[in-house]
Each structure stands twice: as C-alpha cells, then as structure tokens.
Structure 1
C-alpha cells in the first residue's frame, strides 16, 4: 500500500484490498456468494406468497367494510393507505435492484457478483452520501414515519406495533468498534453486490411483514411473523452465542467445508429425526431448555458406495438468564402482607435456578423457575437471604429486608356503595351489607359476618350475616324521610383464610328518601 497523503477514494480502495486479503486468509469461497443468492431467491418466493396473502386479507377487510361500515370503514381506509405506501416503497426497492443488476449478463450467476464498486459509487462520494444515497435513506425513514402515523391515528400512541416498526426500519447510526458508523455505510459500503440485492429483498420482506401485522391487528388479532436467517458455516452454528431461558434454539448443522450438494439420507439430533434439510444443512428449531450448558448430540448418515456412513454430532450451547447480582422482587409491591400468599421472583442472573437457594421465615418455593411464595406471620419485618454457585465454583450471596404489613381496614358498603348513601327505606330493608378493600394490590374476597344498625329514635340492632333480619327491618320501617341510618361495627372474614382477623370495616350512612 502507498504511504503519504491519500485521497478518500484511494483510502477506500486500500481498505477494499485489505478486506479482500482478509477474505482469502479465511478461505472464503465463492459458495458464500451463492448462499446469498439462494437466500435471495427464497426471500423472493416468500415475498410473492406474502403479497398474495396480504391481498386476500385486504379483500376480506373491504368486504367487511361494505357489510359493516360503522365498524370497519375506518379500518379499511387505514389498511388501504398502508397498502399504497407499501406498494410505492416496494416498487422503489425493486427499481434499485434492477438498476444494480443491469450490467449482469446472468442475474443468477451469484459467484460473479462479488464486486462492491457499483453500489459504492451509487450511494457514496467523497466520504458523503450521493443524492441517490440520501434519497434511499429518506425513503426508508419516510415510509416508517407515515406508517407509524397511521397506526398512532387509529390505534393510539403506545401501540406495541409502533416500537416494532421503528426498530425494523431503523436508519440511525450503528455501533462499530468503540464508535458509531452511519447506517448506510454500515450495511452497504464495501459489501458484495449480491449481499446488497439480498438486503433489498429482505427489506421488501420487511414491508410485507409490516403489512401483514397491521392487517392482523386491524382485524382484531395480532399476526406474528418470524423470519430468520442462518449463517452457513461448519459443525453447530447457533443463530447467537447464548439463549435466554424460554427461547427456541435456532441454528444449523453442517459437515466440514460447506457444500450445498451434500445431502444426508438421515439426520438425528437429541433423539429426534430432522426432516428439514436446506442446502446441505439440517435446520434445528427446538426449545433451548433450562439455564446451563446444553448438549446437542446425534448423527449425520450418508450413503457411500451403497453403504451407510455415520458421522457423529457432538456439540453444546449455553442457555443463560438475563445480568450478575441477586434480583429479589415482590411481584405485587415492595412490602409483604400478613394473611395472604405474596408471590415473589428470586434469581441470580448467570446462575441456573437449581443452583440458587433462598431462605426466609414463611418463604416457600412455587411452581416455575425462580418463583416463591412468602406467607409472613408475626413480626414487622422479614429477611430473605439468597445464595448461588457460579460455574467456577464461587458462591454469590445477597439478602434483603421486607416490611410486613397487615391487610388494611376495609370500608363498609351498602349495595356496593360506600360512605354516605341515599335510598328509600324499602330498598334499605332488602340491601346487602358488605366490606371491600378498594385500591388494594391483592384480589381478596371478604364475607360479611355481622354488623350493627342504628335508626334514629330506635335501639341499635345487632345483625348476623350480610342481610337485614326481622328486628332490623322493623327498626328501618319506623325511620322517617330525611333521617340518617348508621350501619357500623361491620365484621368480615377473609375467604380462603378464615383464621386471619380482618379489622372492622368503616361505617356507612344512609339518608332515608
């Protein structure tokens, strides 16, 4: 490489030489370019299928808009706008693909599409974006903005689809090394032509997916679509290096140097026959399992000279929870209540649940990873201590104190109304007296076991249960219009835990009308 002051273009050329040399050092074969091409073909097929499906959904929505205009007219209008925006943007991307492939004699000769200069010169000039490059970025941003505005207008500012679409069409600067890099440079500058074509097709797939999700939401059901891509490498290639508990493991198993013509007659992984074979690799998709080291064992079977040849699969992957100190939380609030089971989640990120021990007075394990139930008894405070063993044998421990509070006093109710109530005395005679816990974090049910009623000029009457007895009804019958009847000393019990003593509910005042 030449030294001294270099032009930006010469710097770019030098960088391309370095990339080319690095590719040679990694024995990067032409088959990788073909893999991009095959992936592009698959995406094109998927786009065609998705287009037809979206057309059918839009047609169904149009029919509903004609049958029930009050309910579906606005939804169909929004869906039509989404359809038109998506068609325009898809056509723009298709035109870009056609432009980049104009000089290709054979559009399926993917191994010949290893150059990046056509795309680089179209999008970049002197360390800046060309007019076409800026237009490309603007088209993506404008599509995202207009689609999001339509969703906000019909479904609200906080609809979950908004975050999904913003991320899907994000063109903000990308992290690279210790700094950042403009999105267009990060995704398109210096890459082979076939990778750019595949990226554009993938973006068209994103448009179809966005349409499908919006249509599904407008019709009352969220349509989930998951499109993933696997790197074609050797042995076990997970889609990412670690998986969180509850995720599905996704990856590919191939043998030696990747060869798309190599077709196994049988693949067995963890005792299951794998029937989905693509480009010489067995596609895996199964639950990642619990936290810890998980094994992947099995075999490839090939026919050679009429005889089966078995090649062993023996690898592993890690399943980790989510960051490296104990996490202790009461699922309802930061205190625990006496008399009720308080659900809690206790874990130490990075340590499997079976290696975590939690202790505390009244604390017991529940079903589910990291799930516990705290049932405090006496005292005003309880301490929970947690310890766990890291893979290297080191012990991690932590503790936290929780305040113990009693269930608050309920409020008395008459016909489910509290405080000061107006009603005829005939209604009062047949009313039900209750006790409630408004704004309490637990869904508890209280049974009224008794109360006292005082009618002006009459002796107080003690009643068992929640309904007026004959003595109470006689007293109420003597009440005059405008007088205020007081129901107090309302006693109740907790359904499911009758041994816990609930405080008396507040009184209710009833003005006779």
Structure 2
C-alpha cells in the first residue's frame, strides 16, 4: 500500500481500511458493555438500600438531639450540613445521568451505549472544558470541601474524602505523564462506562454519609443505652377513680423493652413484686376522695450493680356521681325550627357509656348533640349512663320549646325609625333581623308594603322599591315618615315560617 503511485480508487480503499481498523480498536465488546450496565444496576440498588439506612440514622440522631440537645445538638448540626451537601451533589449527578441517556429509548440495552460523542461534546471543547465540564469539577471539589468544613479540618474523614472525591491529575501508567482528571476519566469512554462511573460517585456520597453519621452516633449511643438514662412512666387505665375502686394501670420504662426484668420494685415505700414484661402492673385500691400519689423505684442489674430508676405520678379520687350534667349551649330553652346545640356528659364516665334520647335529638360528636324540637311546649331528654362499677344512672331533663321571636324590619341595618335622604331610600334594600337573638339567622325579605303620606299603599315584591313605589316616594317631602310594613321574610335554608316581622319607618331628611 505504501509503494508506487496509487490511483484515486486505491487511496479510497486504503482510507476505508484505516477507518475500519480504528473502529475495531475503539469499539468494546458487547460483553464488556453489558458488564458495565449490570454493575450500574447493582450500584443503583445498593444506593437505594444505603439511602434507607441513612434516613433511619438521621431520624435516630434527630430523636437524640430533641431528647438531649446539649449532647446531640452539635452532632445533628454537622449531620444536617452533610445531608444537605450530599443531597445536592447526589441530585446533580442524577440529573447529569438523565441528560446523558435522554435519547436512549431502551435504558436497559447497554450494548447500544457504546458511543463517546455525548459526554465528549458535553464536557470538552477543543483543548478546553465546556461550562458543563468545569461545573462538574466545581461540584466535586465543592462537595469535598463543604463536607470537610462541616466536620472540621482535623476530621479523621479528611483522607477518605480527599481520596473518594479527588480531582487531581491522573498519572498515565504507560507514559508516566500527568493527565487532567476530567480527560483521564471521561474523554473517549463509552456512555455506559461513564454512566456507571457517575453511579459509583453517588455510591461514594451515600457511603460517606453512612460513615459520618455512624461515627457521630457511635460514641454517644453506648452511654445512652445505660439504665441510668431511663425514666419510669406511670400509665393508668383512667385518670379518676371512685372510692373503693381498683386503681389499675402499669409502670413502664421510658425506653420500653419487654425483655427487661427489674430485680426489685418499691412502691409507696413498700416492696412490690407484681411486675410483668418490663412493666410494673398496678393493682391497688382507691382510698378516700382526693389527690393520690404513686411513687417508687424500679431496680435493674447493670454490670453487677443495682441501678435505681425512680418513678412518680398521681391520680384523683372523686365522688361517685348520681346524675349527669346536661346543659343547653345557647339558653335554658330550645327554639322550634332551629338546630339547638346540647352538651351531655357525666363526670368520670366515657362518652361511649352515655346514652341520650329525645324527639328531635341527634348526636353530632363526643358529648355533643343537636335538638330540633317537634310539636308541643316542652321536650324531655332522657339520659342513661353505665358507671365503672357496672351500675346504671338514669335521669330526665325537661326543656321549654319556644317559637322564634318576631323579627323587625331594617333599613341599612337599623331598626325602628331611620332618618335618611329620599334619594338613598329609593335604592336601599329592605331587610329583616332579630336584635339580641342568640342565633345568627340569615333572613331574606320577599315582599313588603310602602305607605307614603298622601299616597295609597303600594305592594312590593322583593326587597327593593319598585317603579310604583319610587314614583310615590318622589312626591314625599322633607320630614315625611315613610312606613314600611307588611314585611314578609324567610330564613335561608330553613322551612320554618316566621310568625311576624315588625315594620320600620323612614324619616326623610330632604
């Protein structure tokens, strides 16, 4: 091929041969490409597992910091910074991987990820780096330096961070020359190799988090599991007891563990041996009415010595009730046509053991009822309750039933006689209201009559003056009293018919 003068055809054949040889040298085998892909899958799976473990460790540290801020607060601050820097860098790498494989339809076909052009164009521009290539280096350096600053320059993790996230030049093993990090690791590499490389960096990030959080917690956790750091917690079955009742409940450790067995228990100054599954089972008798204390000490064996864990609580003994407490939330009466709120309860008795019944009575919540009275002038609410000792209490409470009082016509929200100009009345709607009534009712005027001095009364449908009423009003003079009467009104979303609506008068000021 090298000797003699070659024709154009021969030159073309030689050129194609050289290109073919170059392609063979550049293309990896399908097996190698697939191996990179499978390695990437394993790394992705491992990153998910490590992320879950790290999340649990962060939660554990947060709990410790809330319990003992002086000991664990500074450690949590360091951990939070490491978490923040790690999450930011990890997401940057995830976005970079997504961009790189955006045009790949089958993300699992690693044999087609043999091209080098995407990352070469993304990171490199001639002998220089693109803005994206420089950003990658800055992100790597920034993560390493930020974590080191958070931990302190003397941290034992400095060598690990400098090794895992180094961007120093790489020495070529064949030539001995130094090659810039970015070119040595990413220029001319198949896409699947770079994809796996980025996933490996993500794994380094997650492992770095794991190493740091484990180290931060490690030293403190050993001392925190000591029995001297536990507190006894009294859990009573209820907060109040009747004279003669059994005081039932349990005393457990703040860090409950069924496998823990106390060596002995002192309760109210006496030896007590009724304990089970890590808790002291209370079985006492309530005394006279008043506030009672439960206090004592649970002893545990630790390193051959007894460690005391004190506990203290209190409960109330109240007189046994003989009647429930029933009250109307609005008044001592209930109004026909309205939903009247009623509260029914019995001190010391759970709501589930209280039963109330009456015509129109409906339960709406714990101890809360609504009463819509039926016909008649009174309604009786019958209440029955089952006490803790099994006895039943029954009572009856009578409420008066009253109609909604007469409403009053209004102009501009004012009752009685209202002074205003004639021009204002022409466009002002007529309203109705119930002054000083305990319920807020939305009244809507449907019709009324207007009487202007010297003019016939005019019937108006609706709440504003019609044309005929305005014409009559135009003949009124200053000082005239315009009478609005025969007002008909309804309650919005209520079928109850109001008995009466009192009139309203307007004294014209001009």
TM range (shorter): 0.3 to 0.5
Length-normalised TM-score, structure 1: 0.40
Length-normalised TM-score, structure 2: 0.40
Greater C-alpha radius of gyration = 2
